Amino acid sequence: MLNLSLDQLKNLMLQRGEKPYRAKQLFEALHQQWVTDFQQITCLSKELRDALSTEYEITALEIVRVKESSDGTRKYLIKTHDGHSIESVFIPNAATDGRNTLCISSQVGCAMGCTFCATAAMKLARNLTAAEIIGQVYAVNRDLRAMGWKNTAVILESEPSEDARLIHNLVYMGMGEPLHNYENVLQSIRLLCAQEGQNYSGRRITVSTSGIVKNILKLGEDTNVHIAISFNATTNSMRDEIMPVNKKWNLEELVEACRAFPLQTRRRITFEYVLLAGMNDTDEDAYRLIHWLSGIKCKINLIPFNPHPLSPYKRPELERVKAFQHILLQNHFAVFIRGTRGDDIDAACGMLGAQKLEEARIALN
């Protein structure tokens, strides 16, 4: 039932001889109140609730385990209805503007095979449905509410009220490649942005891709969300080695798609660049990156590699990271060194895939 849009629910109610406003009541219960049982929707008649319970399901994801980092980051191990495991990461930002971020998964595992990413070791089991994608948001919200979590966000007068919101930003940067599961990701975005539901603004949602070129332009045409490109190398030979997707869509094709991406007013494309010591962190790489991104409205996030036993790479020294950043700054790029959050619980960038990481650590010991 969580997969269905409001219009689809209206058609369902009309087919059952119900008034269209019942669809709105049902949609609000599912997507504002996060109900997990039709019997909880007491504004609907018992007869209708019983019928819906017989014919439909509400996918309720099970939180199996929560790990909390020393920095407050919370990693959720979540079980799907068929026994698969996925992970979501809640990142509180009380120290800045109080806006909290949830990193959500779009697939069970991943087919992209990026050699620096722990999730790649899981391979791809299956796509998540739209209900399972948004179900992570609802499950974490329910957990935070149960903990008594309070909203500490600084709300500007120009922004709509977010008094009740505990999760302000959503990033599709968890397990999986979002644009490899395009239709379900698109439906999940539409459901999350529905005014009768969570009513997220597209500016609060970021979708990250390793470079599924055929769907980059579609995302810009179908939604108004932010896009983040996992770039990570400045030559095709290097990118072929660490990101096999480059063998299908190379840097030339990727950059062309980025130049064609329809940016909203005052928006920029985010380029993520994972720095691997001695691999892609040289001055020459920095100058080549300038060449590739010249003329694109963008910002660059430099991510020093988060070491883990499923990948052979090392993190560069901070001095090297800052030298790389300095070259980009001198050439008038907006460039930031992304701080590591949750690495002590394997929740940092590139570290999702708890079972495989735990197996690897046991083997090493």
In degrees, to the nearest 5, what angle opens at C-alpha 200 toward C-alphas 199 and 205? 160
Q: From residue 146, give the alpha-carbon distance in Å to each of 35, 39, 97.
A: 14, 21, 23
Q: What is the number of helices (H) and of strands (E) in the chain? A: 11, 12
Which residues lie below 8 Å from residue 348, measured CB to CB, with a gap of 6+? 306, 340, 341, 342
CB contact at 8 A, 206 and 171? yes
CB atoms closer than 10 angstroms to residue 301: 18
In 3D, which of 207, 279, 268 has the Cα closest to residue 239?
Answer: 279
In 3D, which of 138, 67, 23, 134 has the Cα closest to residue 343?
Answer: 67
The mean pLDDT value of the chain amounts to 90
Inter-axis angle of helices 251-260 and 283-293, nearest 10: 40
- Catalytic residue, chosen from 114, 117, 298, 349, is 349
Inter-axis angle of helices 21-31 and 6-15, nearest 10: 130
Q: Is 241 among the residues known to form the active site?
A: no
Q: What pLDDT is stored for residue 158 in this prediction?
A: 44
pLDDT, tens digit (0-9, with 9 covering 90-100), for 232-267: 999 999 999 999 999 999 999 999 999 999 998 899
CB contact at 8 A, 89 and 342? yes
Q: From residue 273, give the alpha-carbon distance in Å to each of 189, 206, 230.
A: 25, 16, 6
DSSP E strands: which ranges in 238-316?
Answer: 269-275, 298-304
Q: What pLDDT is stored for residue 183 in this prediction?
A: 98
Q: In a structure prediction context, what are the per-residue pLDDT tens digits for the chain, which is 365 residues long?
A: 999 999 999 999 999 999 999 999 999 999 999 999 999 999 999 999 999 999 999 988 999 999 999 888 999 999 999 999 999 999 998 556 778 999 999 999 999 999 998 888 888 999 999 999 999 999 999 999 999 887 776 654 444 444 468 999 999 999 999 999 999 999 999 999 999 999 999 999 999 999 999 999 999 999 999 999 999 999 999 999 999 999 999 999 999 999 999 998 899 999 999 999 999 999 999 999 999 999 999 999 999 998 887 788 999 999 999 999 999 999 999 999 987 765 666 555 655 664 554 544 444 45
Q: Is 4 left (phi over 0), alpha (psi -120 to 50) or beta?
A: beta
Q: Is 258 among the residues known to form the active site?
A: no
Cα–Cα distance measured from residue 293 to residue 333, given in angstroms and rounded to the nearest whole number: 9
Q: What pLDDT is stored for residue 24 in this prediction?
A: 97
pLDDT, tens digit (0-9, with 9 covering 90-100), for 120-143: 888 899 999 999 999 999 999 999
Q: What pLDDT is stored for residue 18 in this prediction?
A: 95
The residue to which tokens 């539409």 are assigned: 190
Q: What pLDDT is stored for residue 308 in this prediction?
A: 80
Q: From residue 79, give the alpha-carbon distance in Å to each of 63, 85, 160.
A: 6, 5, 34
The residue to which tokens 């722990």 are assigned: 118
- Catalytic residue, chosen from 87, 132, 177, 272, is 87
Q: Which domains does the chain carry?
A: 6-55 (1.10.150.530), 62-364 (3.20.20.70)
